[in-house]
A and B are shown apart, each in its own frame.
Chain A
Amino acid sequence: MSLYASAVKRPVMTTLFFVAVVILGLFSLQKLPIDLYPDIDTNTIMVLTSYSGASAADIEQNVTRPLENTLNSVSNLKHISSKSRENISVITLEFEYGYDIDVLTNDVRDKLDMVSSQLPDDSETPIIFKFSSDMIPIMLLSVQASESMPGLYKILDDVVANPLARINGVGSVSISGAPKREIHVYVDPIKLEAYNLSIETISAIIGAENRNIPGGSFDIGSDTYSLRVQGEFKESTQMQNVVVGSYDGKNIYLRDIATIDDSLEERAQQTYNNGKAGAMIIVQKQSGANSVEISNQITKILPSIQKNLPTDVKLGMIVDTSDNIRNTISSLVETVLYALFFVVLVVFVFLGRWRATMIIAITIPISLIASFIYLFGTGNTLNIISLSALSISIGMVVDDAIVVLENVTTHIERGSDPKQAAVHGTNEVAISVVASTLTLIAVFFPLTMVPGMMGVMFRQLGWMVCIMMIISTICALSLTPMLCSQLLKLNPKSSKLFKLLFTPINKGLDGFDNGYAKLLNWVVTHRFITFLLCMALFLSSLILMKFVGTEFVPVSDNSRLGVKLELPIGTRVEIAEDITKRIYDEWTEKYPEIKVLNYTVGMAGSDNTYASLQDNGSHIISMNITLVDPVDRKRTLTEVADLMRNDLKHYPEFKKTQVNVGGSRGGGMSGQSTIDYEIYGYDFETTDSVAAHLKRALQGIKGTADITISRSDYQPEYQVDFDREKLAIYGLNLSTAATYLRNRINGSLASQFREDGEEYDIKVMYAPDFRTSISDIENILIYNSQGEGIRIKDVGTVVERFSPPTIERKDRQRIITVSTVVADVPMSDVVAASQIEIEKMDLPVGVSINLSGSYEDQQESFSDLSTLALLIVILVYIVMAAQFESYTYPGIIMTSLLFAFSGVIIILWLTNTTLNIMSMIGGIMLIGIVVKNGIVLIDYITLNRERGMGIRSAVVDGGKSRLRPVVMTTLTTILGMVPMAVGTGEGAEMWRPMGIAVIGGLTMSTILTLLFVPVLYCIFASVGVKRNRRHLKKLLLKNK
């Protein structure tokens, strides 16, 4: 027994089966975590090799090159790039997306084992480091403090960081901007010399005094006691009374030669939140954990944490990435609901019966909810892609049910019992329903096989839509006939209100049918003109293509800006602080949109995991700006960013400025696109000058901003050149001398001061006043084994030098990258303009320029998507040819693709939207959607012909009777997309191009398909008829 016959016979089973599906789906929905994008596996592995004492060039030659040559043979490698700087080589391996990173890591490890013997003996074993998106912080908390500032680090560490780190899924919590406590022993070198003491002696004495030593145990009577010496300092002031030596029989106390400064680290990052000093707490998640869940838990416990803090310490939120996720997802959910409403409305208007509308509408939630089971089963999340899939499908899942319902209704009107009508009516259309689903699957299934980044993004879309289509077909072949058999009646009574409402609608629809029939009649009698007009329209739309710009991914407004400012290398932190304060004052006044402005200056300590991954230094300023939600402000994120870039031009102090939309530069899926111009060439000077030239050229192009050159400047520094011979004369060697130098300037770690279970460093060094000039350094005394003091200036000279920059390589060639952000104009415009500039440049021999960045991503994904489109067209053709058992008809139907293409271009041009991956995906979906109209039309025309009608009357009658179903299914799809296309919620920028493309292409192609396809059919059919006639004539003549 067929599926529909048993479904009609067993309504209870059918109902309960779908109820079970819905319950499972809702259960899955409840468990589904939400996220912004599908899980993107990391595709980057770093190999770090240190070789201390080697210069950048040595590292490049001896470490980086052999490693690169070997690692280059790892499979699925996309790019290999490296940075060789003093002491260390960092190689970054970028793999194609979609491969198991663990397998790749093992491959890399094997290769490293092979090459290790070729590396210099003193170099360390290479370390493999997997970089993942989990390292991007999910939350930044601001801390404002006043009186508690000196002890802030400890307070935050105990009260905030520890509880947060205990939350499930939190990877690490780091505190930046709150300097740690440190006890400095500031020594006066003149007194030191007078008493014949050295930093090393003092450091050793402090270390020896600050100790607890167990003395074993001893027995007194019947008891055993342990013996201990408790010598550790209880307070830092106790140190003052430590005896460090004797002079003329008198004790010299530490207080005589040094001051004890119990304060904070000397070099540390300082953080300001909304102008007030404080700190920043950075929360990173564990790999695979869900940001929204973590953020929910953190927000839940923050109030209780706040209670435990001193009253002057206030916690606030700088960035909560989950905010954006939540808002985006909720605005997309709203879009889906609107789409649902519109689709149901269209069905109701066209069918005019509420029972029929209900039967059809019920397939929407069932198919949609069933797809949640897939998401849950495969461990996916509710994200932009999966929700877009829902929104796209709403208009399409009803189509099958509509076809079935229409045919069942015809049977009932002919006099069949609803039960019989349901079975036989469904039986008649079952094959064409399955075939039309197959054409859609032919479109969406290949999406699951796209390689690269696109594959990661759209695999889920492909699967979701396929699953929903299959479920909706199953639904249309079982639940719909069952409901028809139970709910539909012959000539149902209709109320007065209903008549009042639907008489004009029906009249309008009838008029529409007749008008179309007349137009169609005219068209098929003027085939040639129609053909020419349609083709002219298509060709002229191709001209518009020139004016439609292309880009990679639309910029989405997540209310976040990241600003990175660089002063000339070596600028003191006080100057950076001062200038940042000025910018802060200017911006907070100018931009009322700013909700939080947090900035950090200074060099980060090595124990701050977050900061040490970023560039930092006394001359670098980094800002995190959060604007109010997009609905509450007039200016968009990019507008504010542009204005800020302009403001920064008035500060000549800065060497480099970056205003990053979305928080980080070229962050793949958010933020503005970047174009990287990679200049390959060996010689530093030549490539430097090409880069500088290119930068100037780019500055003249409209739409470029924040142009940066990757190679950093030569860093000025002082070096002490020791004379080895002189050292030897005094019985010294280089490392002893260098250690003396370090202990005096950087400080010698004497011991650790313990308090409340925490340890703080005690550092002995020259007092700050005695390390401010070159002569201070030259006068440093070094003692040899005989106890003689020798001044640095006697054994060496202090010279100013420039340390060479990092050597960057990509794909085994030296490279320097000039990178620009694309602001406000389509990326293609900037690319075209810059290519003209590059042509004009007279490149030296051996130097070449290559474009990458978002541009490379765009090129790759566009070519992937074009191949995909071609594949889909072929698959769809195959499905149709099989259905019609003809090679011509599918060809005729496929001409509607031309008009879909025109439609997409025209609407993109009209709405000033760019061609990006989202609008391209929209275009690809159109292939399946627009051919459906042609199928319905041609199918009915051939049916008319088979029933014995002439070509023209078959076409006109077929067109007239299929107009309503075509317009109805098209309207459901278009209206399903309207909420996407006009959405203004957070993140709407992302899916708007897709909605726009589908609407434009579908509208245009539907209108023209309704005219052009019948014309083409007439032309081909009459050729066929004539051919048959000639053939018959020949046969007749032969027989005579």
Chain B
Amino acid sequence: MKSIFIAFDQAHYENIIELLEKMNSRGFTAWEHVQGRGTKTGDPHYGSHAWPSLASSILTIVDDDKVDKLLQKLKELDDLKPMLGLRAWVWNIENSI
């Protein structure tokens, strides 16, 4: 089991939910409005007067074999709309109940 944290421009939100659905990964936790800024490029997403756009983030736990495929799909989505911004990170799941 791995956890994937995806942070992205809120315009991607529905696409990503749809993607997870397609990949048969049922569980996720989403924050619809979060703020953030890319490490190197991309406009900040603060929801402020200067930077009005906002980001969303999703934490999903998937089986190990699904991780690569999911990351690949996410990369495709990001390449399609580079201006919006989409990043994902993978952690190990140590334990759960």
Cross-chain contact of A415 among B50, B52, B83 (Cβ < 8 A): B83
B1-40 CB contacts (< 8 Å) to partner A: 9-15
Indicate whether A414 reaches chain B with its CB closer than 8 angstroms. Answer: yes
State whether B51 touches A424 (Cβ < 8 A): no
Does A755 count as interface, using CB distance less than 8 angstroms? Answer: no
Does A416 lie within 8 Å of B49, measured CB to CB?
no
B97 within 8 A of A: no
**CB within 8 Å for A942 and B83 given contacts A411-B11, A420-B11, A420-B13:** no
Task: Say whether A424 contacts B49, CB under 8 Å.
Answer: no
CB distance from A44 to the nearest CB of B (A): 56
Q: Flag whether A300 is at the interface (Cβ < 8 A).
A: no
Which A residues, 916 to 963, have Cβ-Cβ distances below 8 Å to chain B?
942-943, 946-947
B79 to chain A, nearest CB (A): 11
The answer to the question of A421 belonging to the interface, with a C-beta cut-off of 8 Å to chain B, is yes
Q: Which residues of chain A in 404-431 are interfacial with respect to chain B, using CB atoms and an 8 Å cutoff?
A: 411, 413-417, 419-421, 424, 428
SS class of chain B's interface: helix, strand, loop or mixed? loop
A419 neighbours in B (Cβ, 8 Å)? 14
**Nearest CB of chain A from residue B30's CB, rounded to whole Å:** 15
- The answer to whether B81 and A414 have CB atoms under 8 Å apart is yes
The reply to whether the CB of B53 lies closer than 8 angstroms to some CB of chain A is yes
* Cβ contact within 8 Å between A421 and B51: no
Q: Are A420 and B14 in contact (CB under 8 A)?
A: yes
Beta-carbon contact of B11 and A942 below 8 Å: no
- B48 contacts the other chain (Cβ, under 8 Å)? yes
Q: Which residues of chain B have C-beta atoms less than 8 A from A420's C-beta? A: 10-14
Tell me which residues across on chain B come within 8 A of A942, comparing CB atoms.
49
- In the bound complex, CA of A641 to CA of B80 (Å): 77
Which residue on chain B has the smallest CB distance to residue A413?
B83
The count of chain B contact residues (Cβ–Cβ below 8 Å) is 19
Pair B49/A415 contact, Cβ less than 8 Å: no
Q: How far is the CA of A488 from the CA of B41 in the complex (A)?
A: 28
A464 to B53, CA, bound (A): 36
A946–B10 CB distance below 8 A = no
Residues in B with CB closer than 8 Å to A417 are 11, 14-15
Neighbouring B residues of A413 by C-beta, 8 Å? 83
Q: How far is the CA of A413 from the CA of B12 in the complex (A)?
A: 14
Q: Which residues on A sit within 8 Å (CB–CB) of B84?
A: 414-416
Per-position 1/0 for A801-837, Cβ under 8 A of B: 0000000000000000000000000000000000000
- With a CB–CB cut-off of 8 A, which chain A residues contact B10? 420, 424
Residues of A within 8 A of B82 (CB): 415
* A943, B48: Cα distance in complex, Å: 10
Q: Mark B47-68, 1 if CB is under 8 A from A, else 0.
A: 0111111100000000000000
Residue of A415, A420, A946 ringed by the most chain B CB atoms within 10 A: A415
Q: Which residues of B contact A424 (CB under 8 A)?
A: 10-11, 53-54
Size range of the chain A interface in the assembly:
10 to 19
Query: What residues on B are CB-neighbors of A411 within 8 Å?
Result: 11
Distance to closest chain A CB from B80 (angstroms): 7
Point out the residues of chain B lying under 8 angstroms from A414, CB to CB: 11, 81, 83-84
Given contacts A414-B83, A415-B80, A415-B82, contact A943 B11 (CB under 8 A): no
Q: In angstroms, how far is the closest chain A Cβ from the Cβ of B8?
A: 11
Taking a contact as CB atoms closer than 8 A, the residue among B15, B50, B81 that contacts A946 in the complex is B50
Nearest A residue (CB) for B81: A415
Nearest residue in B to A945 (C-beta to C-beta)?
A: B50
Decide yes or no: A428 and B83 within 8 Å by CB, A420-B11, A421-B11 being known contacts: no
Mask: chain A, 217-244; 1 = CB below 8 Å from B; 0 = not: 0000000000000000000000000000
Inter-chain contacts of A946 with B (CB < 8 A): 48-50
Please provide the chain B residues from 69 to 91 with a CB less than 8 Å away from any CB of chain A in the complex.
80-84
User: Nearest B residue to A490 by beta-carbon distance?
Assistant: B81
Complexed CA–CA distance, A411 and B81 (Å)? 11
Q: Who on chain A is nearest to B12 by CB? A: A420
> Chain B: which residue is nearest A412 at the CB level?
B11
Give Cα A732 to B43, complex, Å.
115
Give chain B nearest CB distance to A611 CB in angstroms. 72
**CB pair B11 A415 closer than 8 Å:** yes
Interchain CB contact under 8 A, A947 and B53:
no
Distance (whole angstroms) from the CB of A63 to the closest CB of chain B: 73
When distances are taken between beta carbons in the complex, the residues of chain A under 8 Å from B81 are 414-416
- Are A428 and B53 closer than 8 Å at their CB atoms? yes
- Minimum C-beta distance from A352 to chain B (A): 22
Within the assembled complex, what's the spacing in Å between the Cα atoms of A421 and B83? 13
* Chain B positions within 8 Å of A421 at CB level: 11
Q: A414-B81, A414-B83, A414-B84 are in contact. Are A428 and B11 (CB under 8 A)?
A: no
Task: Name the A residues within 8 Å of B48 (CB-CB).
Answer: 946
| Distance A357 CA – B87 CA, assembled complex (angstroms) | 37
Residue of B12, B49, B54 contacting most chain A CB atoms (<10 Å): B49
- Residue of A413, A421, A943 most packed against chain B (CB within 10 A): A943
Complex CA distance for A421 and B53, rounded to whole angstroms: 11
Mark each residue of chain A from 385 to 418: 1 if its CB lies under 8 Å from any CB of chain B, else 0: 0000000000000000000000000010111110
- The distance from the CB of A937 to the nearest CB of chain B, in whole angstroms, is 15
**Nearest chain B CB to A390's CB is how many angstroms away?**
34
> Which of B15, B49, B54 is the one whose CB lies under 8 Å from A943?
B49
Are the CB atoms of B52 and A428 closer together than 8 Å?
Answer: yes
Give chain B nearest CB distance to A936 CB in angstroms: 14
Q: How far is the CA of A898 from the CA of B71 in the complex (A)?
A: 60
**B11 adjacent to A947 (CB under 8 Å):** no
Instruction: Name the distance in Å between A923's Cβ and chain B's nearest Cβ.
Output: 32
> Inside 8 A of A428's CB, which chain B residues have their CB?
52-53
Roughly how many angstroms separate A417 CA and B82 CA in the complex, as a whole number?
A: 13
Instruction: Give A148 to B16 CA distance when docked, in angstroms.
Output: 95
With CB as the reference atom, state the residue of chain B lying closest to A429: B52
Q: Considering the chains assembled together, what is the distance between the CA atoms of A419 and B82 in angstroms? A: 18
Shortest Cβ distance from A416 into B: residue: B11
CB nearest to B82 among chain A residues: A415
- In Å, the complex CA distance between A278 and B53 comes to 81
In Å, the complex CA distance between A946 and B51 comes to 9
Residues of A within 8 A of B80 (CB): 415
How distant is A842 from chain B, measured CB to nearest CB, in Å?
Answer: 70
Report B56 CB to chain A, min CB distance, Å: 11
A412–chain B nearest beta-carbon distance, Å: 10
Q: Is the CB of B14 within 8 A of A947?
A: no
Distance A420 CA – B81 CA, assembled complex (angstroms): 13
Cα distance A802–B64 when bound, in Å?
122
Q: How far is the CA of A420 from the CA of B10 in the complex (A)?
A: 8
Residues of B with C-beta under 8 A to A416: 9, 11, 81, 84
Q: Which chain A residues lie closer than 8 Å to B14 at the CB level? A: 417, 419-420
Contacts of A947 in B (CB 8 A): 50-51
Nearest CB of chain B from residue A560's CB, rounded to whole Å: 59
Q: State whether A943 and B83 are in contact (beta carbons under 8 Å apart), knowing that A421-B11, A424-B10 are contacts in the complex.
A: no
With both beta carbons as reference points, the residue of chain B lying nearest to A884 in the complex is identified as B49
- Chain A stretch 6-33: residues in CB contact (< 8 A) with chain B: none
**What separation, in Å, do the CA atoms of A413 and B83 have in the docked complex?**
9
Contacts of B52 in A (CB 8 A): 428
A420 and B17 alpha carbons, distance in the complex (Å): 14
Question: Which chain A residue lies CB-closest to B13?
Answer: A420
Chain A residues with CB under 8 Å of B83's CB are 413-415
Question: CA A419 – CA B14 in complex, angstroms?
Answer: 10
* Cβ–Cβ < 8 Å partners of A943 in chain B: 49-50
Instruction: State A509–B51 Cα separation when bound (angstroms).
Output: 27
Distance in angstroms between the alpha carbons of A424 and B50 in the assembled complex: 15
Chain A residues whose CB sits within 8 angstroms of the CB of B49 once the complex forms: 942-943, 946
Instruction: List 14 other contacts, CB 8 Å, given A415-B84, A420-B13, A943-B49.
Output: A414-B83, A415-B81, A416-B11, A417-B11, A417-B14, A417-B15, A420-B11, A420-B14, A421-B11, A424-B10, A942-B49, A946-B49, A946-B50, A947-B50
Q: List 16 A-B contacts (CB under 8 A).
A: A411-B11, A413-B83, A415-B80, A415-B83, A416-B9, A416-B81, A417-B14, A417-B15, A419-B14, A420-B13, A428-B52, A428-B53, A942-B49, A943-B49, A946-B48, A946-B49
Chain A residues proximal to chain B, CB less than 8 Å = 411, 413-417, 419-421, 424, 428, 942-943, 946-947
The 6 closest A-B pairs by CB, nearest first: A415-B81, A946-B50, A416-B11, A428-B52, A420-B11, A414-B83
